[in-house]
Amino acid sequence: MRTYRRTKFTLAVITFLSVAFTFGLGGTVFAAEGTASSSECIKCHTDLKKMDQYGAASAAGAAAIAG
């Protein structure tokens, strides 16, 4: 009986950990890895003022072709 309870407990812990790892902790780890691994990209591309200068410059560049 005791062995059965222990087995049940162990199974519950394993199940919990698996679920937590898969959907919880794992997700967080993935997310942290995701954005952290792209920190420099994000730093630059979320600087909207700087990014929009590229657009404005190219628009002016296109206009400069014309008369």
Partner 1 sequence: MKRHLIKTIMLALLVAATALVSAPAVAAAGTPKLVSTEWLAGHLGAPDMLIIDVRTAANYDFGHLPGAVSLAYSGWEPYNKKIGCQLMPTPADLTSMLRKLGVNDSTHVVVYDQGNTALDASEGGAVVWILESVGHENVSYLDGGFTKWTFEGRRITKEKPTPQPGNFTARLDPTKVATLKDVIANLKTKEAIFLDDRTAVEHFGVEKRGDVVRYGHIPGSLNFPLDFMTNAGINRAPATIRSLKELNAMAAGVGLPKDKNRKIIVYCNSAQQAGMGYFVLHDVMGYRNVKTYDGSMLEYAQDKKLPLARFSWGFVTK
Partner 2 sequence: MRGRDTYGVDKDYVDSVHGKIGCINCHKGKNVSDKDKAHEGLVKDPSEKDGGGVCIQCHSDITSKYKHSMHYKLTGIFNIVSTIIEPNKIPDTILPAAAKLDCLNCHASCGSCHVAWPKVAEGGLLNRHRFEKNPPMDKTCYACHGSRYAGEYMGKLGPSPDVHYEKYQMVCTDCHKGEFLHDTQPASATRFYAVRQPMCTDCHPNAVPGKSNIAMHNAHKKDEVACTVCHATEYFNCVNCHVSLDVKEAGKIKVIFPSEPLETFKIARNYDRSKYNPYKYDLVRHTPMKKDSLASFYWFQDVLTGKPGPKDLIANYDALPTWNSASVHTIQRKTKQNSSCNACHGHKDLFLTKDDLVPSEPTANLKVIVNKIPPMIKERR
- Site of interaction with partner 2 (CB under 8 A): 30-31, 33-48, 51-52, 54-55, 59, 62, 65
Residue 15 vs 53, nearer CB to partner 2: 53
The yes or no reply on residue 59 touching partner 1 (CB under 8 A) is yes
Q: What's the longest Cα–Cα distance across the chain?
A: 92
The yes or no reply on residue 1 touching partner 1 (CB under 8 A) is no
Residue 6 vs 47, nearer CB to partner 2: 47
H helices present in 1-67, as ranges: 2-19, 26-36, 39-45, 48-65
Task: Tell me, rounded to whole angstroms, the distance of Cα 62 from its chain centroid.
Answer: 36
